[in-house]
Structure 1
């Protein structure tokens, strides 16, 4: 990977990088002795600031002007990714030495479009995605045929950038894993899985792919050589048609939280159920010690909770806001529809909904029905929810949503990399 250090502020000295971008909106005076591996970006400033005889390239932005230097023509779309046709036509037009296009990435479809355009252009080019979903385009230089990739020094000069130091350490063939869902602002998985990778000496990165839908998710995983992906709300069931096969418990659940890329064949599995079992064991109450469990929710996570409870020998009732989804879950998995909202008769409760993720507490069931020594787990882990607070006050045995995250994440990690991670390191990373 060729890394071009892009400076957000004037440094004491230039970084250790293959190339350097010096922006005239940052550098009032260019450093002396600029060589062929430097890029001067005008950024709206006058070209007279570029010294005569400069052998590097000059980024003139979206301009067709003739200049006495090697030219980069760069086009930016800060709102969207244009069509493949527009991207390709823009890159192929002009007499510049290098064509650059940077565009905002908001979906898997955008990443797929970038891949198709970049791999079909026959000239020296650089196609980069902006935003969090665009980060993968900056890492996969070789796949996209990009001449180099930018890494920031000091502060980011574009959204979605990694630092030049990170880029050099990762290289072009690092392992890429990630998570998809919507929204993803709350997720701690990147921090947790990143710590696990560093501990095991795995050269890789865990990225967030927050997309409004899953169109082309299968193409993107294959095209960008993504080793695996976690799947969270609301896509655990929706992702199944994009996979080549579903294995193990995921087949019975009809829900996938982990995708594994096996040489281009996408395999879906489910590790959420293992996270549920792990969280209860960490709390000191095995699910096998429970008799009747109420599962609140009817999505993919609920299916994993039902599976974990049934495998532990429990009778399971399901409560949810959408009767049709609750009935479908119960029919598929042999659970019963909860007869009402009372907690009477249950010795365990699992919340599998996002209720509580924000400052809300509309649980449908009556919190006053919680009893001392009842086992309670809330999959919401980004804050202490109303349910958890009430359970603690009542003297319930509370299984941690973060322990559930660690348990499922450890199993996903092992499926991707073939080695068991240190769960204590994962736990400490998200404390």
Structure 2
């Protein structure tokens, strides 16, 4: 069914603002217009003169949105959007028959959201939703770990193999991987914006992560930590991959623990990773081999997948040492290192080896 598309979610408090933000979206394949936060709602005006296909969504508070006008009013909004010619409407699935779906199957995105955890009956829910005949089935569930994404990917790929359109996505920090690697999750499109936990800025998704260039053969690397979304490493590494024309992407991987990352890496074929807090020491004990400095310090910050397992390295030493010794000779200095984590260990070793009288404050 081809490459996953980009759907940009647009939110606003007025119809005029919604239109302006809608028209400012340039690179999306389609747009989701969230009407639930619009105070002076004009459905026809929201859709008028649009340049891209639209999904009209009016999410209730109980389903994670902000519409508080009652179910009948919400149904009228959806009905008016259909009359005005919107390409799709988003209708929440509650397990019961819905005449709107039957009458407009080809224009319905049937959605289910679970903000607490991944439901155990995910497959059964998908089958029931698919049986309605809706054009697209969307399932978005809270991911508490990277491995929560594995069954989502399996379900999404099954949908794609069956020729069905679906968006199966994880929300929250761990779920970011499912948004960037949407193609591997069988998604017909990936939602970008700031309307849901874990959504990514559209420009960042398209440019930094080169979303439109990703395929099943793209090598995947990442920065592993918790939290990790603040890391600037993806911007740096992805710029490097682009500069050397390497078919690879570097993504944030918010793991629950070290086992969570290694299990995810095995399932999704991760080629390598940078390790940040709080996992630098824990990872060291889980790998097949470490470089000499990693063994000495007992902490690592880089992983490479080799045929016989994972090899770990510590690059913090070089990162700390090179700029320091390029300007100073530290032999005989008095130095204080504040902290006792992986980076602090690396700095302490460098200082001691270079002749500094080093005090560690943990």
Query: Larger radius of gyration, structure 1 or 2?
Result: 1
Q: Report the 3-state secondary structure (helix = DSSP H, G, I; strand = E; otherwise coil) of the residue aligned with 1:268.
A: strand
Structure 1 Cα separation of the partners of residues 191 and 268 of structure 2:
18
Q: Over residues 182-214 of structure 1, what are the superposed CA-to-partner deviations in whole Å (9 max), with x where a residue is unaligned?
A: 455875545665676677777876544444422
What CA RMSD, in Å, does the superposition of the two structures yield over aligned residues?
3.7
Decide whether aligned partners of structure 1 residues 28 and 55 sit closer, same or farther in structure 2, where only a CA change above 3 A counts. Answer: closer
The corresponding residue for 2:140 is 102
Structure 1 Cα separation of the partners of residues 53 and 307 of structure 2:
36
Q: Report the 3-state secondary structure (helix = DSSP H, G, I; strand = E; otherwise coil) of the residue aligned with 1:133.
A: coil
The corresponding residue for 1:19 is 30
The structure richer in helix per residue is 2
The corresponding residue for 1:398 is none
Q: How far is the alpha carbon of 1:242 from its aligned partner? A: 4.5
Structure 2 Cα separation of the partners of residues 181 and 103 of structure 1:
21
Contact 1:57–1:69 (Cα < 8 Å) also in 2: no
Contact 2:153–2:186 (Cα < 8 Å) also in 1: no
Structure 2 Cα separation of the partners of residues 182 and 57 of structure 1:
37
1:221 aligns with 2:265: yes
- Which of 147, 170, 176 pairs up with 1:135? 176
- Which of 10, 16, 41 pairs up with 1:7? 10
- Which of 229, 244, 257 pairs up with 2:301? 257
Give the stretch that moved more between structures: 49-58 or 29-38.
29-38
Structure 2 Cα separation of the partners of residues 32 and 61 of structure 1:
24
What does 1:8-407 correspond to in 2, within 5 Å? 8-9=11-12, 10-12=18-20, 13=23, 15-25=26-36, 26=38, 28-30=42-44, 31-32=47-48, 37-44=53-60, 45-46=74-75, 47-52=78-83, 54=85, 56-63=87-94, 64=96, 65-67=98-100, 68-70=103-105, 71-80=108-117, 82-83=118-119, 85-94=120-129, 95=132, 96-121=134-159, 123-152=164-193, 156-169=194-207, 170=210, 171=212, 172-173=214-215, 177-184=221-228, 189=233, 207-224=251-268, 226-261=270-305, 266-286=310-330, 289-290=331-332, 298-305=340-347, 307-309=349-351, 312=353, 314=355, 347-349=356-358, 351=360, 363=361
Contact 1:140–1:224 (Cα < 8 Å) also in 2: no
Decide whether aligned partners of structure 1 residues 89 and 33 sit closer, same or farther in structure 2, where only a CA change above 3 A counts. Answer: farther
The corresponding residue for 2:69 is none
Q: Report the number of matched residues.
A: 313
Q: Over residues 5-24 of structure 1, what are the superposed CA-to-partner deviations in whole Å (9 max), with x where a residue is unaligned?
A: 22123133263322222233
